[in-house]
């Protein structure tokens, strides 16, 4: 395919492409800015097929750098700016980039300790452009465009390689489901160094729609944009959605053009969905993961109310099936799709083991398809708690407890009990001035859950370990200090 940015600048040079708090850029202006930065990157020594690691927050220079590296035909490795020095060191040694391109506005306290070639964006901007630079004319569908690392329990993170073809088919599936039009503008507040965030940038080029870029999860600015501007779609995680609702000014409504919250990364509790319904905020739940280039299924506007709790039907580009169905009619979610990653960096055997003999990718998630082919997610297979001959689905229990006034967040995990059984315990954080006891929470559970689902212990912690996308890192909970309430 023809270079996406160059193509879009030809088709819609005067259409707004990027909206910042105090400035707008058309596709023509954005293209000119990106090409200038790419030329300076060329002067710095970056060439086609080089691997370049990007360490950036959601700033304008980071947005431009992503597109400039595409123009040069590099393979971009996205580094999570919230990671520790040890984790960053492992990832950099694994992907071996030519340089680490660093935003001047990001916190560099961890990456400063890593001995590797680094290039600050301000250094690039100070260079002279060169006449020898030419943007790549085409994006090859099979070319690896990006690498994102997913966390592993053994701390040997896995680099997921995604191609331009992956992003294109992902964008096609999304627009066929949502019905994207040229008047849409997508709010980008998810980190650009995660697949859901970057996918919004890619969709902007493919669809020709504008992006509101918000640096960090600035709740006041997000609400201002959703209420006063012409934003139509925002991508959020369940945790971020709850935070946003808690700070929505009383009596406020989102702007008349607003279409939906596109929700990913885990299950959403019924109480939050009810709050959104009361505020006339459409929520379209979706399902996907890094290896599937973000979303592979989502609710659409017609089904959002009658299929609440579902992740929607698989996109037109996807095949989804359920295997190894258990006594609860829940099974393993498997996918065959052109959005499946090209591979794992330096881990070919591990990647091959994720596939069935007939070519389906084993997601590691469990759920079911109803009679109308709507997908319902029940959680990660590795997180299930086996209590004798019963199976506890942690996120199901968590969603019930999220309705308790005073609980900020809660996570259910299993520990070894008698006779090989696992028993559920809860880690939780409370709101300021909230007073809840184990007796209160246990009694609530007995009235709203089946007995074997009720946690036997409630452990109060100061803060949950989370990914930058807001997902709780369950495998790190057992190392935390806690107080039994």
Q: Which fold has domain 4-139?
A: Rossmann fold (3.40.50)
- Six-digit token string for 416: 């070894």
- For residue 148, the Cα-to-chain-centroid distance in whole angstroms is 11
Question: How confident is the model at residue 151, as a pLDDT?
Answer: 83
CA distance 441 to 434: 13
Non-local CB neighbours of 442 within 8 Å, separated by 6+ positions: 454, 455, 458
Question: How confident is the model at residue 480, as a pLDDT?
Answer: 94
Q: In the 3-class helix/strand/coil scheme, how is the chain assigned residue by residue?
A: CECHHHHHHHHCCCCEEEECCCCEEEHHHHHHHHHHHHHHHHHHCCCCCCEEEEECCCCHHHHHHHHHHHHHCCEEEECCCCCCHHHHHHHHHHHCCCEEEECCCCCCCCHHHCCCCEEEHHHHHCCCCCCCCCCCCECCCCCEEEEEEECCCCCCCEEEEEEHHHHHHHHHHHHHHHCCCCCCEEEECCCCCCHHHHHHHHHHHHHCCEEEECCCCCHHHHHHHHHHCCCCEEEECHHHHHHHHHCCCCCCCCCCCCCEEEECCCCCCHHHHHHHHHCCCCEEEEEEEHHHCEEEEECCCCCCCCCCCCCCEECCCCEEEEECCCCCCCEEEEEECCCCCCEECCCHHHHHCCECCCCCEEEEEEEEECCCCCEEEEEEHHHCEEECCEEECHHHHHHHHCCCCCEEEEEEEEEECHHHCEEEEEEEEECCCCCCCHHHHHHHHHHHCCHHHCCCCEEECCCCCECCCCCECHHHHHHCCCEEC
- What is the distance between the terminal CA atoms of the chain, rounded to a whole angstrom? 59
Residue ranges in the chain modelled with pLDDT below 50: none
Q: Which fold has domain 384-484?
A: GMP Synthetase; Chain A, domain 3 (3.30.300)
Residues belonging to the chain: 485
For the chain, what are the domain ranges? 4-139, 169-382, 384-484
Question: How confident is the model at residue 268, as a pLDDT?
Answer: 81
> The pTM is what?
0.92
**4-139 and 384-484: same fold?**
no
Question: How confident is the model at residue 415, as a pLDDT?
Answer: 94
Could you give the angle at which helices 238-246 and 219-228 cross, rounded to 10 degrees? Answer: 80
CB 160 within 8 A of CB 291: yes
CA distance 203 to 157: 27
Question: How confident is the model at residue 193, as a pLDDT?
Answer: 95
CA distance 403 to 354: 36
- Six-digit token string for 360: 């389906």
Tell whether domain 169-382 is in CATH 3.40.50.12780.
yes
Question: How confident is the model at residue 469, as a pLDDT?
Answer: 67
């Amino acid at each position: 395919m023809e270079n996406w940015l160059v193509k879009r600048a030809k088709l819609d040079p005067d259409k707004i492409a990027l909206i910042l708090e105090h400035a707008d850029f058309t596709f023509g202006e954005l293209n000119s800015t990106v090409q200038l930065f790419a030329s300076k990157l060329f002067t710095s020594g970056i060439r086609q097929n080089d691997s370049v690691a990007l360490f950036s927050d959601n700033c304008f220079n980071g947005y431009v750098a992503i597109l400039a590296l595409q123009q040069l035909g590099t393979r971009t490795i996205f580094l999570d700016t919230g990671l520790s020095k040890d984790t960053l060191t492992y990832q950099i040694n694994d992907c071996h980039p030519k340089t680490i391109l660093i935003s001047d506005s990001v916190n560099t306290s961890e990456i400063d300790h890593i001995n590797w070639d680094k290039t600050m964006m301000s250094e690039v901007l100070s260079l002279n452009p060169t006449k020898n630079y030419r943007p790549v004319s085409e994006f090859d569908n099979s070319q690896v465009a990006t690498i994102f690392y997913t966390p592993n329990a053994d701390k040997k993170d896995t680099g997921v390689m995604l191609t331009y073809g992956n992003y294109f088919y992902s964008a096609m599936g999304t627009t066929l489901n949502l019905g994207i039009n040229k008047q849409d503008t997508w709010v980008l507040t998810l980190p650009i160094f995660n697949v859901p965030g970057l996918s919004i940038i890619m969709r902007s080029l493919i669809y020709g729609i504008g992006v509101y870029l918000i640096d960090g999860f600035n709740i006041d600015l997000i609400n201002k944009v959703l209420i006063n501007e012409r934003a139509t779609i925002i991508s959020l995680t369940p945790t971020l959605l709850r935070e946003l609702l808690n700070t929505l000014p009383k009596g406020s409504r989102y702007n008349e053009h607003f279409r939906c919250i596109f929700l990913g990364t885990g299950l959403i509790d019924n109480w939050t969905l009810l709050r959104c319904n009361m505020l006339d905020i459409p929520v379209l739940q979706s399902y996907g993961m890094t290896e599937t280039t973000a979303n592979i299924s989502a609710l659409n506007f017609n089904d959002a109310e009658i299929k609440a709790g579902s992740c929607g039907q698989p996109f037109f580009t996807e095949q989804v099936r359920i295997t190894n169905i258990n006594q609860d009619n829940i099974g393993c979610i498997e996918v065959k799709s052109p959005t499946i990653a090209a591979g794992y960096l330096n881990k070919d055997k591990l990647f091959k083991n994720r596939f069935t003999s007939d070519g389906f990718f084993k997601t590691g998630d469990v759920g079911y398809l109803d009679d109308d082919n709507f997908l319902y997610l029940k959680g990660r297979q590795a997180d299930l708690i086996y209590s004798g001959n019963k199976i506890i689905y942690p996120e199901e229990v968590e969603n019930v407890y999220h309705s308790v006034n005073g609980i900020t967040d809660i996570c259910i995990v299993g520990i070894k009990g008698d006779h090989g059984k696992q028993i559920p315990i809860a880690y939780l954080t409370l709101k300021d001035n909230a007073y809840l006891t184990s007796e209160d929470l246990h009694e609530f559970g007995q009235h709203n859950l089946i007995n074997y689902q009720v946690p036997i212990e409630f452990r109060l912690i100061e803060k949950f370990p989370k990914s930058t996308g807001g997902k709780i890192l369950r495998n790190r909970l057992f190392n935390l200090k806690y107080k039994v309430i």
